[in-house]
């Protein structure tokens, strides 16, 4: 579905967190709860496990994810002898997809308890009723290099004051070069700006999806990058105007 023109006011109200995070189930890891500021949602996001935090970082970096909500809804669960409210972990709105409701777990090898199976069944039924999709996911099973890159790039999502002054220049130059290392691109501006000053912008453009690289290799100054032309307005590119000497 196309959510690109949504102002999100209705969703912000409807899917606000239904409870505060806690570490009730974290007897041996009492400090894994926390929060961070979401550049995508423009508000703090709370998490109850390292797996949740990793997945929320991934949602921050996924350019097709337009909005996501943690602890978004209450799902009433009924068994023969009991009933209780269950709150799934996150609801994501992704361009071209139905809303995606997720439950985040640590290890797919752990056998589900009858209570967990019942929760999944009710969540899946509610998602079907609303026209959503429901999945149980295991972010901590992602390859180590990919998780490292997600954590690394998430730290460069925040805009710095000087970025707008250099954005078009940097995108234009990489467009002219077609591809090159982060180090090479930064050094190409050494006559006008300290390359160390420019590298955070290049990593920011990677984090925002304006530049592309192989995320299955460790991202560093030697990573080869290219322009993601699907994310760049044609009017910002002026290849013929680029003229520099290393």
- How many whole angstroms separate alpha carbon 242 and alpha carbon 237? 10
Confidence of residue 233 (pLDDT cuts 50, 70, 90): low
Task: Answer yes or no: is pLDDT of 87 > 60.
Answer: yes
- Please indicate, yes or no, whether residues 138 and 202 belong to a single structural domain of this protein: no
- Please indicate, yes or no, whether residues 215 and 135 belong to a single structural domain of this protein: no
Task: Answer yes or no: is pLDDT of 191 > 90.
Answer: yes
Task: Answer yes or no: is pLDDT of 26 > 90.
Answer: no
Task: Answer yes or no: is pLDDT of 245 > 60.
Answer: no
Q: Identify the residue whose tokens are 């990593």.
A: 203
- Please indicate, yes or no, whether residues 32 and 137 belong to a single structural domain of this protein: yes
Note down the domain range covering 131.
9-142
- Please indicate, yes or no, whether residues 15 and 123 belong to a single structural domain of this protein: yes
Q: Does residue 104 lie within any of the structural domains?
A: yes
Task: Answer yes or no: is pLDDT of 44 > 60.
Answer: yes
Mapped onto helix, strand or coil, the DSSP state of residue 66 is strand
Answer with the one of 112, 142, 172 that is the final residue of a domain.
Answer: 142
- Please indicate, yes or no, whether residues 187 and 226 belong to a single structural domain of this protein: yes
- How many whole angstroms separate alpha carbon 167 and alpha carbon 200? 11
Answer with the one of 84, 112, 142 that is the final residue of a domain.
Answer: 142
- Please indicate, yes or no, whether residues 109 and 172 belong to a single structural domain of this protein: no
Count of structural domains, the chain: 2
- Residue 5's Cβ-count burial label (10 Å; 0-12, 13-18, 19+) is exposed
- Residue 8's Cβ-count burial label (10 Å; 0-12, 13-18, 19+) is middle
Q: Does residue 1 lie within any of the structural domains?
A: no
Based on DSSP, count helices (H) and strands (E) in the chain, helices before strands.
Answer: 7, 11
- Please indicate, yes or no, whether residues 130 and 198 belong to a single structural domain of this protein: no
- Please indicate, yes or no, whether residues 21 and 124 belong to a single structural domain of this protein: yes
Q: Does residue 3 lie within any of the structural domains?
A: no
pLDDT tens column, 115-129: 999 999 999 999 999
Give the mean pLDDT of 177-189.
97
CATH of the domain at 232: 1.10.10
Tokens of 59: 């949602």
Answer with the one of 142, 166, 194 that is the final residue of a domain.
Answer: 142
- Please indicate, yes or no, whether residues 213 and 132 belong to a single structural domain of this protein: no
- Please indicate, yes or no, whether residues 165 and 130 belong to a single structural domain of this protein: no
pLDDT tens column, 157-167: 999 999 999 99
pTM for the model stands at 0.88
Task: Answer yes or no: is pLDDT of 20 > 80.
Answer: no
């Amino acid at each position: 579905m196309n959510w690109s023109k949504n102002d999100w006011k209705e969703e912000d109200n409807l899917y606000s967190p239904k409870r505060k995070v806690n570490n009730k189930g974290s007897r041996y890891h009492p400090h894994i709860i926390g929060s961070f500021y979401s550049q995508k949602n423009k508000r703090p996001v709370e998490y109850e496990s390292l797996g949740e935090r990793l997945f929320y970082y991934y949602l921050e970096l996924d350019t097709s994810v337009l909005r996501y909500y943690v602890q978004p809804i209450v799902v009433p669960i009924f068994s023969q002898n009991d009933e209780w409210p269950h709150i799934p972990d996150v609801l994501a709105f992704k361009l071209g997809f139905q809303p995606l409701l997720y439950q985040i777990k640590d290890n797919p090898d752990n056998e589900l308890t009858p209570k967990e199976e019942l929760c999944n069944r009710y969540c899946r039924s509610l998602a079907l009723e609303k026209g959503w999709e429901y999945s149980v996911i295991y972010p901590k099973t992602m390859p180590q290099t990919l998780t490292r890159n997600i954590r690394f790039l998430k730290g460069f999502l925040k805009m710095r004051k000087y970025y707008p002054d250099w954005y078009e220049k940097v995108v234009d130059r990489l467009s002219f070069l077609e591809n090159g290392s982060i180090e090479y691109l930064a050094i190409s501006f050494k006559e006008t700006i300290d390359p160390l000053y420019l590298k955070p912008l290049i990593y920011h453009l990677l984090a925002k999806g304006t530049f592309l690289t192989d995320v299955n290799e460790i991202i560093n100054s030697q990573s080869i990058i290219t322009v993601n032309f699907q994310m760049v307005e044609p009017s910002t590119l002026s290849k013929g105007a680029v003229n520099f000497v290393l």
